[in-house]
Structure 1
Amino acid sequence: MLLLAGAAMPLLMAAPAQAAETTTTNTGTVGGTAAAVPADSADVTAGSQPLEEIVVTATKRETNLQKTPIAISVVNSQALKDRHVESLYDLADGGVPSLRVATFEARQSALTVGIRGIVPLDANQPAREQGVGIYVDGIYLGRQHGLNAALFDVDRIEVLKGPQGTLFGRNTEGGALSIVTKAPSGQFALRATGGIANYGGYNGDVHLDLPAFAGFAIKVDGIVQHQDATTNDPEPGSTGWNFYNRRGVRAAVRWTPVHGLTDDFSYDNGYDANTPFYSQLLNFNPNSCVAGSQSASPNCSLPGTAYTTLTGTVKPLPPGVIVNGDSRMKVADIGVPQRKSIDKTHGFTNILKYTVSPALELRSLTAWRGVDATQWDNSGGAHRVPVVTLTAACTATAPCGFSRYSLADLHQRQFSQELQAVGSIGIVDYVAGLYYFNEHVSDDAATPNSKGAIATLNGAGQVVGATYVDIPFCTASTPAFVGEAVNGCSIDRASEVKSKSYAAYGQLTANVTDALHLTVGGRYTHDKKKGVLHYFRNVNYDTNPTVAAANGYQPLDQSWNRFNPMMTLAYDVSPAVHAYAKYSTGYRAGGASSRTANYQAFGPEDIKAYELGLKTDFFQHRARLNLAGYIMDRKNSQVDISFIQPAAGSNVNVLRTINAPGITKIRGVEADLTVSPVDRLQLTASYAYTYTDIPAVPITYTAGGVSTTVPQKFYIVFTPRNAASGAIDYSIPLGGSGTSLRFHADANYAQSTQAFDQFALHNDASFIVNGRVSLADIPLRGSTVTVSAWARNLFDEQYVFRRDPSNSLPAGPTTSVVNGSIANVLGDYGNFNAPRTFGLEASIRL
C-alpha cells in the first residue's frame, strides 16, 4: 500500500485533469458529479454538485464504482463528445492510460486493443485470439476486424482492467472493454447532430425514440462520418491515405409485456470504407549494412540469427524516393494504386430478462453477428520490400516490379448464447451462467507488385534515372476467389477455421458484515478449433497433398480445457474508503498461423494476477482517488516472428507465432483522481505505470539442412512504461434558461513503445491535446440547441506511432543460416499519427 500511496502523491500535488478516465454514470453525470439536466443533454454542466456515485455493470449487476472491487475506468457519452471520439481508434490518444489502441498497418478498421500489457501484435489471423475481450451490450465480438466502425448511441464504455476470466471468459487476460448503448426509453425524443471539419470532414447522427405502444418501445440510430485523405496520392484516381467514410444504422425494440419481463431486440448494420496511414521511409540504411563479415556491420544484425557473413548489396535509393523521418508527409513521393478497403458489420441481438422474485433474475443473451472485409493496402509504395533494382533490363516492355499491394479478404460469422441467473439470498449475492460460442472465419491474401520502374539510360547505356508506370497484376484465373480482393492473384495464403467454446461459471459474494465482503468465483471452459490451410504460395493444399506434406502441413484440430478461479477480499474502511485484495486468472486460446507453410500451431497462454486496490472519496465528496497495484505472471506467452519473403512476383508475409517458455512478468500501478474544487469546475487526472519482461527465447532456424539456435529477446508492443492523462472541464451559466458556456481540454502523454515483438526499436513518445468549446442548451421553440467548436491534436503533434525496422536489417534465413542477405535493405519505414483536425458542430434535442 505504501507503493500505491507513493505513486499517488504526484497526482495530488499537481493540477491536472482528465475527463474520460473516471467519468460516467447512467444518471447523466460527468466525473461523478450530479446532473441538473437529462442524461441525453447535448452538454452536461460539470462540477455543479459534489461527486455522486458512478454506476457500472462489471459484476453483471448495477453497482457503485467506488464499492466494486475491480479496477475500472469509465468513459461516458459526454466525455466521448468532449474528445470528439467517433470510433474506438480515437481512444488511441491515451485518454485511458492503461488502455492502448493501435490500428493495423494495412487498414484502419482492424484494431489492436490492449490493457495492462496484454497486447497481441497480430490478432488478424482467423485462428488467433485477442487478449482483451470486446463486448457490446454484453455480446462478445470474436474478431478485431470492423472494430473501428462508427459508434452507435453509446451511454458509456467500461474499461475493466486485469483478467476477467470468471464472468467474461476466455481471451480476457488483460481485461475487457464493455460498450453499453442507450436503450429505448419509451418516450418521444429526437436528438440530431451535424458537423463539418477540415480535410473535407463531416459527421452527422440522428437518434429517434418513439413513444411506447402496446408494451413496445422503439429507438432508431443513424450515423455518418467522413474524412478525406490527409496524405495525398499523386496517382490519378487513387484515394490517398488516412481516408474514411463510415455509416451505420441501428434499430432497437424493447418489449415489456408484463411487469418483470423485458425483451430487448436490436439490429445493426455498419459500413466502413477506409485507407491506412501512409508508410513513410524514415531513414536510409540506418544500421550501416555492408557485404562481408557480420562483425564488420555490428548493428546490421537480425534478432534470433547467427549470421557470419552478409551477402548482396544495399541498393541506392530509387529516383524520386524521399527520406523523411521528421514530419508527416502531405503528399506521397511516388503515386501508387490505392483503393478503399471495405468493412461491413451486421448483427442481431436479443436480451431477455425476467425477474422471477426479488432473489432471482433470469437472463438470456442471444446474438448472431458477421464481418466481411476486403483489404487494399499500398501505403508503403517504394518503401517496402521488394526494393527495385534499376538496370538496363528494366524496360518499357519489362518494367522492374515493386510497390507491394497487400490484398486480403476476411469473412466471419459468429453465434453466441448465454444464460444467466443473478440475485441475492440473505447475505450472499450470486451470478451463475452457461455460455456457448460458435465461430466460422475464412481469409485469403495476395501481395502482387503494382508499379514498375523503367530505367532511363545515357548514351553509354548507364542508368541515370527512372520512370514509374502501373503494371498489370492479378490477371490470372482463380475461380475459387471470384469477386474477392485477391481474385486473379497468386494466392499467398487462404485458410478457414471453425471455433466452438462452452463454459459454465459462477460467482458468490458473501457480505460477511456491513464492511467485509468475500467474493469467490470460477469458470470452466472447453474450447475446440478445427482449421485448414487451403493455399500457401499459390499452391492449393487441398489438391496437392504431397506438396503440403513436404512443407510439414498439419490441419489444426485441437481442444483445451481450463478452470479459471478468482477470489477477492474487500473491506469498507469507512463509508468513503474501500480497499480490496484480489487474485484472478485468465487464459487465451491457442491456434495456428496461416502465414506459415506448415500452418504452425501454437498453444494457449495462461495468466495469474494479484492486485491491491484502494478507492476513496474525500473533501466532502468533492474529490475521488482510486489506486491499484498489480502483479501479473503469464505462462507460455504467444509471441510473433515476422518477415517478408519476395518470390515469383509476390511478397509473402511469413509470421510464426510461438509460445515463449518461462514466465512473462507484468507489473504496474494505476491512479485516477477527480476533483471538483468549486461548482462547475472539474479536474481529473490518471496515470499508469507498466513494467513488462519476456525471458529470452531460444529461436531455431533451419536452412540448407543446417540448424542454428540463438536466444532472442521479445517485447510487448504498444505498452508505454509511463502514461498519463489529464483534463479540465468548466462551465459558466448564462442567464436563467439553462444555457451555459462549457470549456473542455485534455492532455495525454505516453512514453515510447515497441511496435513489434522481435525488435527493440522504439516508436516515438506522444503528447496529444484535445479541446472543445460549447454554447450548450440554448432554448429554441420547445427544443434545446448546442453549438460547439472542437479540435483533436490541437498543437499538431507529429510522432511515429509504428516504426518497422524489417526493411533495414538482413532478411530471415531461407537457404542458409550463416549467410544473411542485405539485398532488400532500404531503411526503417513507419506511420505518423493523424494531423490536427478541427470542426464545428450543432446539435438539437427535442
Structure 2
Amino acid sequence: MSMYLSRNLLASSIFLAMLATQAYAQDPASSTPSNGAPAAGQESPTSQAPVAEKKAVQLQNVTVTAQRRQESVQKVPISITTLDSIQLQRMNVTRIDDMKFVVPNVVIEQNTALNTGLKIFMRGVGQDESMFTAEPAVGLYLNDVYIPRMTGAMLSVFDVERIEVLRGPQGTLFGRNATGGAIRYITKKPTGETYLKLNASVGNYGRRDLGLNFSTRLGKDIDVTGAVMSSNRAGYIHDLTHNRDVNNVHQNAARTTVAMPWGDSTYATLNLDYTRDTSGATYAVPVKLDTNGKLVPVLGSFYDTRTNTPGSNILRSWGSSLTTDTDLGTVSLRNVLSARGLDNEFYEDLDGTEQTRYHLYQNQKERSYSYEAQLISQLTGPFSWVGGFYAFRETNSQPTRNDIFGPGATNYISQQDNAYALYWQGDYAFTDRLKLTGGARYSIEKKDFLVVSVRPNGSQAFTVAKSNRWKRPDWKLALDYDFAENVMGYASLTTGFKSGGFNGRGTTVAALGSFNAETLTAYEMGIKSSLLDNRVRFNIDYYRNDYAGIQLSAVDPNGVFSVTNATGAVLSGVEMDAQAQVTDAWQVGGGFGTIDAKYQNYAPVNAATFAGMDLKDAPKFQWHLSTTYIQSLANADLIWTAAVKYTDKYYENQALSPIIMTPTHLDARARISYEPRNANWSVALWGNNLTNNHISAGGFDIAGLGIAVIYPTMPRTYGVDFKYRF
C-alpha cells in the first residue's frame, strides 16, 4: 500500500501543479466566459449569443442531490463524480458502462452473456452473478427508483439531465444493496419549453441510431418531455460454423415525463419508460495459453467463434413512477410510488464450440413495487435533516436449464423479496466552517425461495423451499471543516449491508444452499477544493473498507455454481479527481484510483484459496485524462474532446484464472463536433477504442468441461452524429 500511496500522492501533486501553472498563464480579468459544459440540469443552446462583457474564466458550478437535497458537489462530504447532458454528449457516453472513463476505481462492464446486463464493482466491492437470487452491491437508480436486477440494467444514455456516481456505501439514504456505492441516472425534467430534436448516428459495424426528443406544455400548466430511440449495430464476432456475425445490437426504447401542479402546494411528476431489446444471443470466443503463457485465440482471431445453436435473447422492461412534492412550510413531503417489470428469455451457447458442452436456458419474469416517503426540513439555521420510510416488494420466477453434454433438468425457480426500512440523516453546523453529519437506517428483509426440479423425461426430481429474514441497523458519521472559503476537508465512518440469500444456480439439493448477509464498514477522509478563483477543482480522498462475509460467486471445474461467505477482506486506497478551466476555450481533467486489497478472516482450511491472493475485479491502479477545446470559427464552434483511461490487470473470477484475466490496457476515445452558432443543426465525428484493444470483459474457464472462453470488448469503432432542432 505504501508504494501505491506514495506514488499516487506524488502524481496528484504534479498534476495539480501542472493545472495551476496552466491556469495562471491567463489573466482572469481579461478572459471571456467559459464555453465549457454548463451546470448540471442546464442544456447548452444550439446557438450562442455574442459575448457582451468580459468575465473571469471559471469552471461551472455543479449541483447534485446525492443527500436528497440540492447542494454544491464541492460541499458534499462524499466522493462523487457527476456529468451533465452536455458533458455526456461530448464524452460520447451512450451507455452506463461508458462512465468508466471519468470515474476512479470502478469496473463497469457488460455482464457475461447478457447484452443488457450490467456488472459494477466500486473500490473492489461488487457482484458479477446476474441470477436474481444474487444481489448487486452497487445500487442503480433511475429517477430515484431502485433498479433491482443486473439484467436489463445496462441503460442507454438518452434524454438525460445528469448522472451521479457515488463511491462508498450509501446505505443510510439509499438503502438496500449500496455497499459499494450508487449510480443515480436522472432524466430531463419538463420546463414548459417547446422543442423537437432529431439525433442520428451512423458508423462502422452497421451502426444506425435514431432518436427524437420532445418537450411541450399542454394547457396552462401541464409540462411534458420525453424521447424515443432506436439503436442498431451488426455483430462484431464471426460465427465460422454458420458464416454469420453475432453479438449485434437491436434495441428500441422510450421515456416520457409529465409534471404539473396538484393543488396549491403539491407538484406531481409521472415518469414512464419502456425498452425492448431483441439483439439476440451473445457468444464468447475460445482462447488458450500458449507455451509462453500468452493468451491466444483458438480459431486465429479474438473475434471468431463456433456455435451449434442459433440462440436467442429477447428482453422487455418497463417502469412507472409517480412523485409528489408538497410544501408543508417547515418541511417538504416527497412521496415516490413505483412499479417495474422485466421479461427476459434467452438460450445461450457458452462454450465456443460446435458441441453442447455448456448451454444455458432462462426465462425470467420480474416484477417490483416500491414506495418511499421523505420528510425534508426547510427551516433556515444550523440544523437540517431528512427522514423517511421505504418499502419494496419483488417477485421473480424463472425456469432454468443447464445443458451440459446433453439436455439437463429444468429448475423452476421463484423468489419473493420484501424489504422495509426507516431512515434519518441530519447535519448540524457548529460554526460557519464546522459541520457534523449523522444518519441511521434500520432495514428488514425477508426472502421466500422455491425450486421445483423436473428431469428431461418430465418426472419431478426434487423440491426445495427455504425462507429467511435479515435485520440490520446501519449508520453514518461525518465531520467536515472549511479550511478556507473553497477548501473543505472531511472524515466519515459509514456502514453498509447486503442481505443474504440462496444459490439459485444450484443443480442439486446440496448445491441449493443459503448464504449470509455481507457487511461493510468504510472509513474515508478527503479534501475538496476549488482554487484560483474556481478555475481549478481538485479533490483527493483516502478510503478503507472493512469487508465481512463477502458473497463470493464461483464456478467449479465441472460447471457447478456456488455462492459462499468464506472470507472477509480489507480494501484501501487513494483517489484523486481534478479539473481545470485553462482558458475560456480549454478545459482539462483527470484523476486516478488505487486499490490495495487483502483477504482476511478466512478459516485455516481456506488459506490456500485466499492467503495472499488478489480479489477479482479490483485493479490495483487506474488513471484517466480528458480534455475539451472549443475552437471559434467565423460563425461556428469546433469542439474537440478526447479521453484516455489506463487500467491495471485484474481477474474476472475468484480462482484468478490467467485465461480470463483482463490485462493491463489503455483505452482512448475522441469526438469532434461542428456547431454553427446561428443554425439549428450540428454534426460530429467520433471514435471509440482508438487503441483497438481486444481485452476480456468476462469469460469462463471450466477445465472439467473443456471450456476456456472470453467475451472480448468491441474493437475500434467510429461514426458520425447529426443533430437537428426543429
How far off its partner does 1:279 sit? 2.3
Contact 1:215 1:257 in 2 (8 A): no
Q: Which residue of 1 aligns with 2:566?
A: 660
Residue aligning to 2:325: 353
Change (3 A) 1:227 1:43: farther
* 1:494 aligned residue: 412
Specify the alignment match of 1:419 in structure 2: 373
Shift of 1:434: 0.2
Change (3 A) 1:38 1:354: closer
Task: Report deviation, 1:595.
Answer: 1.7
Structure 2 equivalent of residue 125 of structure 1: 131
Residue 682 of structure 1 is matched in structure 2 by 587
Letter in 2 for 1:675: A
2:393 counterpart of 1:431 = no
Report if aligned partners of 1:240, 1:275 keep a CA contact under 8 Å in 2. no
Q: 2:476 aligns with which of 551, 566, 587?
A: 566
Q: Check conservation: 1:31, 1:682, Cα contact below 8 A.
A: no
Deviations 1:461-510 (A, max 9, x none): xxxxxxxxxxxx8xxxxxxxxxxxxxxx6434331100000000001110
Partner amino acid, structure 2, of 1:444: P
Residue of structure 2 aligned with 1:440, choices 389, 395, 401: 395
Name the CA distance, whole Å, in 1 between partners of 2:398 and 2:337. 26
Which of 56, 75, 99 matches 2:106? 99
Structure-2 separation of matches of 1:280 and 1:36:
41
Whether contact under 8 Å (1:31, 1:674) holds in the other structure is no
Alignment of 1:542-621 (within 5 A): 547-548=462-463, 553=464, 555-596=465-506, 597-598=508-509, 599-621=512-534
For residue 521 of structure 1, report the CA deviation from its aligned partner. Answer: 0.6
CA distance in 2, matches of 1:580, 1:30: 30
Paired with 1:721 and 1:326, the residues of 2 have a C-alpha distance of 32
Q: Which residue of 1 aligns with 2:118?
A: 111
Mapped partners of 1:118, 1:528: distance in 2: 23
Q: Which residue of 1 aligns with 2:28?
A: none
Q: What is the root-mean-square deviation in Å for CA atoms of aligned residues?
A: 3.0
Moved more, 749-758 or 441-450: 441-450
Distance 1:39 1:327, change over 3 A: farther
Structure 1 residue 753 corresponds to structure 2 residue 637: no
- Tell me the equivalent position of 2:30: none
Q: 3-state SS of the aligned residue for 2:16?
A: helix
Residue aligning to 1:533: 451
One-letter amino acid of the counterpart of residue 262, structure 1: Y
Shift in alpha-carbon separation, 1:593–1:449, aligned structure 2, 3 A: closer
**Counterpart code for 1:604:** A
Given that 1:30 and 1:76 are in contact with CA atoms closer than 8 Å, whether structure 2 keeps it comes out as no
d(CA) in 2 for partners of 1:287, 1:744: 39
Q: Deviations over 1:552-576 (max 9, x none)?
A: x5x2211011110101101111111
Which residue identity lines up with residue 573 of structure 1 in the other structure? F
SS of the residue 1:232 aligns to: strand
How far is 1:90 from its partner? Answer: 3.2
Q: Secondary structure at the match of 1:199?
A: coil
Deviation at 1:128, TM superposition (A): 1.5
Q: 2-side partners of 1:498 and 1:257: how far apart?
A: 35
| C-alpha separation in 2, matches of 1:608 and 1:415 | 29
Residue 165 (structure 1) aligned with residue 185 (structure 2)? no
Shift of 1:365: 0.4
Match of 1:453 in 2: none
Partner of 2:173: helix, strand, or coil?
Answer: coil
Counterpart for residue 343 of structure 1: 315
Compared CA separation, residues 560 and 538, structure 1 to 2 (3 A): farther
Structure 2 residue identity aligned to 1:329: F
Post-superposition CA distance 1:770-789 (Å, at most 9, x none): 00000014433xxx211001
Amino acid in structure 1 at the alignment position of 2:398? D
Partner of 1:469: none
Which residue number in structure 2 is paired with residue 815 of structure 1? none
Is the 8 Å Cα contact of residues 37 and 44 (structure 1) preserved in structure 2? no
* 2: CA distance, partners of 1:536 / 1:30: 65
Shift of 1:711: 3.9
Residue type at the aligned position of 1:134: L
Counterpart CA distance in 2 for 1:803 and 1:335 is 16
Structure 2 residue matching 1:506: 3-state secondary structure: strand
Asked whether 1:509 is paired with 2:392, we answer no
Q: Aligned equivalents of 1:403 and 1:560: distance in 2?
A: 38
1:375 aligns with 2:346: yes
Aligned residue identity for 1:417: Y
Q: Corresponding residue for 1:366?
A: 337
Q: TM-score, normalised by structure 2?
A: 0.89
Contact 2:47 2:678 in 1 (8 A): no
Q: 1:729 is matched with which residue: 621, 628, 631? A: 628
Give secondary structure in 2 for the equivalent of 1:501: strand
Q: What TM-score, normalized to structure 1?
A: 0.77
State the structure with bigger RCO (CA 8 A, min sep 6), 1 or 2: 1
1:717 corresponds to which residue?
A: 616
- What SS is found at the alignment partner of 1:166? helix
Q: Counterpart of 1:817? A: none
What residue number does 1:838 align with?
Answer: 718
Deviations 1:666-719 (A, max 9, x none): 10111001011111100100111111122374598xxxxxxxx77422653222
Structure 1 residues 186-585: aligned runs within 5 Å: 186-236=192-242, 240-258=245-263, 260-275=265-280, 278-283=283-288, 324=297, 328-332=301-305, 334-357=306-329, 359-382=330-353, 401-425=355-379, 426-448=381-403, 490-535=408-453, 547-548=462-463, 553=464, 555-585=465-495
Q: What letter matches 1:422 in structure 2?
A: I
- Cα 1:432–1:538, aligned 2, differ >3 Å: closer, same or farther? farther
Change (3 A) 1:696 1:516: closer
Tell me what 1:297 maps to.
Answer: none
Q: Which amino acid is the alignment partner of residue 345 of structure 1?
A: S
Q: Give the number of aligned pairs.
A: 696
1:640 paired to 2:553 = yes
| 1:404-461 alpha-carbon deviations (Å, 9 max, x no partner) | 33221111100000000012433211100000000001122223379xxxxxxxxxxx
Structure 1 or 2, whichever has the larger Rg, is: 1
CA positional deviation for 1:213:
1.8
Give the fraction of aligned pairs with identical amino acids, expressed as a percent.
Answer: 23
Distance 1:43 1:150 in 2: 27
Partners of 1:745 and 1:44 lie apart in 2 by 23
Letter paired with 1:838 = Y
Which runs of no fewer than 5 residues in structure 1 stay unpaired?
17-28, 289-321, 384-400, 451-472, 474-488, 646-652, 701-708, 812-823
What amino acid maps onto 1:373 in structure 2? N
Contact preservation (8 Å) 1:149, 1:272 = no
The alpha carbon displacement at 1:537 in A equals 6.1
State the distance in 2 between where 1:440 and 1:522 align: 28
1:664-813, aligned counterparts within 5 Å?
Answer: 664-695=569-600, 697-698=602-603, 711-713=608-610, 715-735=614-634, 739-759=636-656, 761=658, 762-780=661-679, 784-807=680-703, 811=704
CA contact (8 A) 1:121 1:757 kept: no
